[in-house]
Amino acid sequence: MSQKTDLQQKWAVASYALQDAYTDFILSRQAMLCSPKTIRFYHFTAGRFVKYLEDNGVIGPEGVSSRYIRAYLAELAAQNLSDSYINGHARAIKTLVKFWHKEKFIEEIPTFKMPAIAKKRLPVLTAPQVKKVLGECNNNRDKAIIMLLVDTGLRRAEICALNWGDIDISSGIVRVVKGKGGKARSVVTGIKTRRALLAYRRDIEHDDEHPVFQTCSGSRLTANGLRSALLRVGKRAGIHITPHALRRTFATLSLRAGMNLIQLQAMMGHSSLEMTSKYIQMLDEDLVEAHKAHGPIDTFY
């Protein structure tokens, strides 16, 4: 058997319709238990790229090349879209072509440079701002929500999915059963947050199977409901707050208080320290204090 035939047999690249290959990709993400939000992300980003390929006469994944990917990203850039928006599409395309290569739909992974994202200092609340926000809470539920978010760094979907059976008030341990990517973990709350939860619990039905955070009708608080509640409190305090801003606040304040990166990674449910480091915001005053303690000239001269 010739070397060429061996190579062809090794790759066994099938002439596979583009839509079929795209559908296989989406099914693979669903089989990996990606969240509905992640699936929607891939539908929008990878799906739009596949439509672009079809519009340009590509009939199967084997027709995808670096040139097509670069041209597509250039087309997005020409629309004056944000850096993060274009980078999100590029990440989805990278995941898509890696999957196609793994499934032997394509022989080689097309190479392209990931679009750069301008670094921005995302909003993080200071300790006085957190106190101000808590002072504007006009009910026990909202106060407990904000304290739990700042004390644990839980994601929006995670805090909404909590049932009372997931929380051990005596120890402060909260079991996150439905974490991102289906990963379970435990986080810990402080005494003051536990007191806030107890005060709120007296107002509602709280058997183990009941949701922790509820609407006025007793149903589970949705992600949109949570966001709206935070916006209302923030408006009264004159501070814009979102669940993700409070997650970043948890990361930054915890690090300042002495928590190490490994502990922070575990609390936040990240699979890598690189992900955790993206949440950490070093303010100018942090750098000043760090230099006072460790600056080389002042240390030895």
Q: Is residue 42 one of the residues assigned to a domain?
A: yes
Question: Mean pLDDT across the stretch 255-278?
Answer: 78
- Residue ranges making up the domain that contains 64: 11-102
Q: Check 29, 155, 194, 206 and give the catalytic one.
A: 155
Catalytic residue among 89, 141, 180, 248: 180
Q: Residue 297 domain-assigned? A: no
Clarify whether 180 is annotated catalytic.
yes
Answer whether residue 14 shows pLDDT above 50. no
Mean pLDDT, to the nearest integer, of 213-236? 95
* Pair (97, 168) in one structural domain: no
- 133 and 259 co-located in one domain: yes
Has residue 233 been placed in a domain?
A: yes
pLDDT for position 26: 96
Same domain assignment for residues 264 and 222: yes
User: Residue 12: is its pLDDT beyond 90?
Assistant: no
Q: Could you confirm whether 194 is annotated as catalytic?
A: no
Does residue 144 register a pLDDT over 50?
A: yes
For the chain, the domain total comes to 2
Catalytic residue from among 43, 185, 244, 256: 244
Is 56 in the same domain as 149? Answer: no
In the set 22, 68, 200, 279, the catalytic residue is 279
Share the mean pLDDT of the chain.
86
* 278: CATH: 1.10.443.10
Asked whether residue 239 is assigned to any structural domain, the reply reads yes
More confident residue, 281 or 255: 255
Residue 94 included in any domain: yes
Catalytic residue list contains 247? yes
In a domain, 108, yes or no: no
Mean pLDDT, rounded, for 228-251: 94
Question: For residue 114, what pLDDT band results from cuts at 50, 70 and 90?
Answer: confident
Q: Is 89 a catalytic site residue? A: no
155 belongs to the catalytic site: yes
- Print the SS3 string covering the chain: CCHHHHHHHHHCCCCCCHHHHHHHHHHHHHHCCCCHHHHHHHHHHHHHHHHHHHHCCCCCHHHCCHHHHHHHHHHHHCCCCCHHHHHHHHHHHHHHHHHHHHCCCCCCCCCCCCCCCCCCCCCCCCHHHHHHHHHCCCCHHHHHHHHHHHHHCCCHHHHHHCEHHHEECCCCEEEECCCHHHCCEEEECCHHHHHHHHHHHCCCCCCCCCECCECCCCCECCHHHHHHHHHHHHHHHCCCCCHHHHHHHHHHHHHHCCCCHHHHHHHHCCCCHHHHHCCCCCCHHHHHHHHHHHCHHHHHC
* pLDDT-wise least confident of 184-193, 225-234, 275-284: 275-284
Shared domain check, 163 and 261:
yes
When comparing pLDDT for 97 and 124, which is higher? 97
pTM above 0.85, yes or no: no
Among the listed residues 89, 143, 248, 270, the single catalytic one is 270
279 belongs to the catalytic site: yes
Question: Does some domain include residue 294?
Answer: no
**Same domain? 143 vs 78:** no
112 part of a folded domain: no
187 and 83, same structural domain? no
- What's the CATH number where 56 sits? 1.10.150.130
Same domain, 144 and 48: no
